């Protein structure tokens, strides 16, 4: 009762001042994360973060909840009722401490901090193959993913009670935002990521991809497919992201982003068969793999100990080649690695015959061979010992023509995507520090920052760099009216405007097409064919163009055909550094969490129509509070509203639009 006479606004100001005074120094056993927005195109109100990770004690997946006054963060374990939208934060909602937006992470593993421009991420919770709840990463190449048309990117981190903090920038999957990391207490690198503008990064990529000295007319279009361009419903053209070849190789998909899986084994198209050349070379030459890091982890004895020597055998009766590795005469270990016949395992560092369990000799073999390929050092001179020391000694030869390949002018036979991102802005060394390939740590160019303090690590400063010239698309604003034919799977029930929709019914609808599928509200954005926000079964709703705009088929799945959440191809976990340097995807089980209380009655709207077809006005909630909204489509309010009013807003907005 002591403060009952103080106005709420004054009490809030007092609380903030008190918080700044209290947390000018980081609380004990927390990892300070300081966020700086230098984007030049979006203020702190238009830059969002969402953080997910794993509780290191329970191994359960968590979203990170941040106290908006103190910045102290906690991990909230997820379950079937978790509302992921509650864990999206505008930068402006985080406390400003020492001139930087600041939060304090607890001990967490496998942390992903996602940044997005103008729109929050639409993450969700799903069951993995073991029956545990997890938080899937969004898919940067799936056009039905509800985040696909958003400008977003991420960094990776972990805070371990036994070894301190590890943080790194990553473009292993894609590049969208220029993120830079600085940490004064790091004992590895002090800075990593992109120090140049987004325009500089993308211009360098374009220049490297178009280098006629290294690329034939056949290969240039293949690399340029990695640019993901988009035109939103208003006609705004935007470059969404640059996809890595390891993620863009999608067998059977001939649409961009797409990278030819036969690139490394296609004499007819590319004038050279790289895989065949490597196989042939190692029939008469050897390579050595240094596995000494497995000492005490994996037993190997006799012969050459933890040094394996490999030579190719084959082809067998099926035309397959095998790389035979052993640790010499009298040694205890041997292994035959089947060589791939397509490109994916080389670019991804895993997959097919290159799949191997961590902390085993096959994993080290695959890591070293694919790292050498990525940098252009495979094949290597006869008898070469592949280890980190070899790669460091040969950095000047990264991403250059390999003299042991008689490839003529058909280069490059390495990862041009990695070269382009590591050599901003000049296209040549020195190499920027960032993961562009799963094993850039083996190549000594990953940029992982490590502070060994387990109780008071130095702050990690994450800067969103200059994005001047970047157009921000708006996939949600579509003023077109569509003719939709509903194709409804067996057992599913679809309602539109309170009326039952039958299979093959033809409807005239706006976008988003707001309907109910088996009791779930679906906001279907018809030009681009995605559903937001996500719900179970949303990814199974397909929008199919008929060839005549704006006529579409909307395919609703049957109740027995709802697919499980697709799991993206995992990025291999680096094994150069001991755990927790690897950032393995979380696999977690739920603990119950309170379900938000439903609002007993719908809100009231007052609005005016803007010249661009959007609406501005206010929402009066059942508790009497008034919330303004500006320049939005009324159905789109359901995307951004808090959980406790979302369902009511959807119903009310649908009723309002019916009468407009």
Q: What is the pLDDT of residues 564-582, one digit of tens each?
A: 444 444 444 443 333 333 3
- Whats the size of the chain, residue-wise? 660
pLDDT digits (tens, 9 = 90+) for 446-497: 999 999 999 999 999 999 999 999 999 999 999 999 999 999 999 999 999 9
- Give the pLDDT of residue 609: 56
Convert the pLDDT of each residue in 96-132 to its tens digit: 998 899 999 999 999 999 999 999 999 999 999 899 9
pLDDT per position as a tens digit, 32-87: 999 999 999 999 999 999 999 999 999 999 999 999 999 999 999 999 999 999 99
Q: What would the two tokens of residue 70 be?
A: 């103190």
DSSP result, 186-241:
-SS-SEEE--S-HHHHHHHHHHHHT-TTT--TTHHHHHHTTEEEEE-TT--EEEEE
pLDDT of amino acid 629: 62
* Per-residue pLDDT band at 605 (split at 50, 70, 90): low
Confidence band, pLDDT 50/70/90 cuts, at residue 616: low
Helix/strand/coil for 425:
coil
In which band, very low, low, confident or very high, does the pLDDT at 604 lie, cut at 50, 70 and 90? low
For the segment(s) 19-195+455-464, the CATH number from 3.40.309.10, 2.60.110.10, 3.40.50.720, 3.90.1170.50 is: 2.60.110.10
Interacting residues of 608 by C-beta distance below 8 A, sequence separation 6+: 615, 616, 617
Domain boundaries, the chain: 19-195+455-464, 272-387, 604-658
> Residue 293: pLDDT above 80?
yes
Q: What is this structure's pTM?
A: 0.82
Q: How far apart are CA 404 and CA 382, in angstroms?
A: 10
Above 50 in pLDDT, residue 591? no
Q: Which of 363, 377, 434 is nearest to 180 (CA)?
A: 434
Q: CA angle, corner 652, sides to 646 and 655, nearest 5? A: 145
Q: Is the pLDDT of residue 504 over 90?
A: yes
- The mean pLDDT value of the chain amounts to 85
- Comparing 147-161, 311-325, 475-489, 595-609, which segment has the lowest mean pLDDT? 595-609
Residue 24's pLDDT band, with cuts at 50, 70 and 90, is low
Cβ count near 11 (within 10 Å): 12
**pLDDT exceeds 60 at position 431:** yes
Task: Answer yes or no: is pLDDT of 400 > 80.
Answer: yes
Phi, psi (rounded to 5 degrees) for 520:
-105, 135
* Interval 167-180 mean pLDDT: 98
Task: Convert the pLDDT of each residue in 246-278 to its tens digit.
Answer: 999 976 566 667 899 999 999 998 889 999 999
Give the whole-number percent of the chain exceeding pLDDT 90. Answer: 73
């Amino acid at each position: 009762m002591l403060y009952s006479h103080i106005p709420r606004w004054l009490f809030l100001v007092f609380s903030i001042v008190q918080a700044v005074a209290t947390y000018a120094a980081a609380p004990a056993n927390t990892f300070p994360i300081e966020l700086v927005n230098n984007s030049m195109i979006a203020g702190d109100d238009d830059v969002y973060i969402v953080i997910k990770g794993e509780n290191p004690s329970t191994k359960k997946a968590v979203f990170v909840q941040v106290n908006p006054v103190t910045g102290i963060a906690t991990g909230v374990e997820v379950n079937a009722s978790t509302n992921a939208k509650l864990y999206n934060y505008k930068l402006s909602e985080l406390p400003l401490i020492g001139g930087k937006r600041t939060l304090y992470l607890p001990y967490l593993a496998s942390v992903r901090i996602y940044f997005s421009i103008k729109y929050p991420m639409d993450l969700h919770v799903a069951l993995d193959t073991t029956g545990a709840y997890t938080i899937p990463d969004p898919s940067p190449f799936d056009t039905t993913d509800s985040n696909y048309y958003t400008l977003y990117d991420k960094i990776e981190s972990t805070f371990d009670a036994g070894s301190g903090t590890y943080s790194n920038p990553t473009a292993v999957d894609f590049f969208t935002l220029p993120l830079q990391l600085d940490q004064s207490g790091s004992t590895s690198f002090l800075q990593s990521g992109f120090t140049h503008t987004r325009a500089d990064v993308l211009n360098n990529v374009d220049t490297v991809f178009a280098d006629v000295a290294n690329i034939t007319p056949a290969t240039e279009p293949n690399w340029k497919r990695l640019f993901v361009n988009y035109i939103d419903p208003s006609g705004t053209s935007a470059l969404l992201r640059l996809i890595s070849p390891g993620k863009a190789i999608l067998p059977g998909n001939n649409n961009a982003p797409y990278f030819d899986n036969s690139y490394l084994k296609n004499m007819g198209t590319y004038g050279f068969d790289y895989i065949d050349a490597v196989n042939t070379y190692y029939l008469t030459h050897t390579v050595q793999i240094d596995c000494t890091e497995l000492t005490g982890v994996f037993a190997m004895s006799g012969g050459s100990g933890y040094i394996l020597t490999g030579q190719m055998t084959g082809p067998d009766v099926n035309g397959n080649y095998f790389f035979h590795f052993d640790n010499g005469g009298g040694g205890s270990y041997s292994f035959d690695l089947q060589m791939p016949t397509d490109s994916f395992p080389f670019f991804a560092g895993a997959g097919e015959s290159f799949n191997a369990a961590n902390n085993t000799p096959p994993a080290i073999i695959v890591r070293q061979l694919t790292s050498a390929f990525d940098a252009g050092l495979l094949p290597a001179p006869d008898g070469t010992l592949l280890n980190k020391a070899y790669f460091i000694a040969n950095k000047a030869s990264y991403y250059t023509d390999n003299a042991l390949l008689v490839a003529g002018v058909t280069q490059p036979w390495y990862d041009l995507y990695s070269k382009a991102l590591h050599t901003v802005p000049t296209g040549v060394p020195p190499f920027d520090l960032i993961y562009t390939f799963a094993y850039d740590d083996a190549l000594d160019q990953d940029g992982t920052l490590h502070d060994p303090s387990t109780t008071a690590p130095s702050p990690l400063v994450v800067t969103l760099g200059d994005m001047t010239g970047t157009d921000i698309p708006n996939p949600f604003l579509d003023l077109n009216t569509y003719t939709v034919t509903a194709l409804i799977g067996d057992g599913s029930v679809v309602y539109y405007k309170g009326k039952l929709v039958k299979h093959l019914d033809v409807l005239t609808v706006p976008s988003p097409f707001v309907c109910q599928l088996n009791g779930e509200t679906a906001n279907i954005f018809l030009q681009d064919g995605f559903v937001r926000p996500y719900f179970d079964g949303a990814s199974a709703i397909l929008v199919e163009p008929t060839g005549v705009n704006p006529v579409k088929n909307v395919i609703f799945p049957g109740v027995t055909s709802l697919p499980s959440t697709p799991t993206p191809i995992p990025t291999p976990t680096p094994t150069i550094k001991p755990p927790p340097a690897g950032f393995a995807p979380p696999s977690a089980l739920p603990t119950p969490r309170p379900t938000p209380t439903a609002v007993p009655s719908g809100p009231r709207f007052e609005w005016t129509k803007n010249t661009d077809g959007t609406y501005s006005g206010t929402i009066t909630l059942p508790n009497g509070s008034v919330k303004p909204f500006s320049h939005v489509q009324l159905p789109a309010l359901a995307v951004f509203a808090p959980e406790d009013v979302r369902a009511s807003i959807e119903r009310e907005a649908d009723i309002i639009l019916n009468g407009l």
